[in-house]
Amino acid sequence: MEPIRVQSFDEPGVEVYRNIRDADLVGRRGVFIAEGELVVRTLLDRHRESGRFRAESVLLNRTRLGAMNDALVGLGADCPVYVAEQGVMDEIVGFHIHRGVLACGTLHEPMTMPGLIKQAGADGGPIVVLEDLANHDNIGGVFRNSAAFGASGVLLTKRCCAPLYRKALRVSMGHVLSVPYAAIGSVEEACAALRSGGWTTLALTPDDRAPLLNELVGSGELGGRVAILLGAEGPGLTETAMRSADHRVRIPIAEGVDSLNVVVAGAIALSALPRP
């Protein structure tokens, strides 16, 4: 499809990109903005697969058109490509968009917790359960780690920030679009569903009374299906969530260090689990 030249802020077709700092909130309604070449390429790949994610349009700085041409091949009228000069693009989005590559996507057929657990059981990788992570960087980092260490899915309480927020999606390096995820009412609910499906749940805690994760893994007590529970930066998992887990475990850290960042802790925990 021939790119559509955009010469002013108020031209039709680019409304969704206007002042996207505020429009990030539309992630809650299944519409989201992908930023950067890698993330947009991932979205376009998912679009071609006709799966859960669809690309609705692309907005490019004119100077990035050549670099993105191969990714745009075959897009139809249902995904128009808009091209603008840097100044016009900056005016549309409301700030200097130095990456020069944006796309609008939509989420179709969100996964459910039962569906994700069933699929993850077939895949064999661990599940990550997140309780109330409100930081975009942490959500994005967890998804990137989940992809890197072979997790089969992520379950998030509804107080977590939306994985499709622009920054979370960017920090994840686009892996929010490849790692399955679903919303849960509570960690307690998720643990009950996981247990009934034959999963062992591990709640991460800095409490030095908890056994070490690597020792528990080495003991052979864990079954083949494992889910790790991670809490928000600062407060960590609630007591209710920890009581819901089969085991409380900790990562060894030096004396005098309070805890680890949740993304770092999650990466260490996932790396310690047996690979499927």
Q: What are the distances in angstroms from CA 95 to CA 32, 65, 89, 98, 99? A: 18, 20, 9, 9, 12
In a shared domain, residues 261 and 128 = yes
Residues 6 or more apart whose CB falls under 8 angstroms from that of 183 comprise 110, 113, 155, 156, 157, 158
Same domain, 253 and 130: yes
Instruction: Please tell me the predicted confidence (pLDDT) of residue 42.
Output: 96
Domains in the chain, number = 2
User: What is the residue range of 72's domain?
Assistant: 4-107
The enclosing domain of 259 has a CATH number of 3.40.1280.10
Q: Are residues 32 and 125 in the same domain?
A: no
Does residue 243 sit in helix, strand or coil? helix
In this structure, what token pair is assigned to residue 36? 């950067």
pLDDT of residue 27: 65
pLDDT of residue 96: 86
Last residue of a domain, one of 66, 92, 107: 107
In which residue ranges of the chain is pLDDT below 50? none
Residue 18, domain CATH? 3.30.1330.30
Do 55 and 138 fall within a single domain?
Answer: no
* Helical ranges in the chain per DSSP H: 20-23, 37-49, 65-72, 86-93, 113-123, 136-148, 166-171, 187-196, 213-219, 239-244, 262-272
Looking at residue 257, its pLDDT comes to: 85
Same domain assignment for residues 124 and 169: yes
Residues 128 and 81 in one domain: no
pLDDT tens-place string over residues 5-27: 999 988 899 999 988 876 666 66
- Asked whether residue 23 falls in the same domain as residue 52, the answer is yes
pLDDT at residue 274, rounded to an integer: 79
| Helix, strand, or coil (residue 84) | strand
Query: pLDDT above 70 covers what percent of the chain?
Result: 96
Final residue in a domain of this structure, among 51, 82, 107: 107
pTM score over 0.85:
yes
pLDDT at residue number 196: 95
Q: Are residues 100 and 117 in the same domain?
A: no
Q: Of 50, 79, 107, which residue sits at a domain end?
A: 107
Task: Please tell me what DSSP assigns to residue 198.
Answer: T
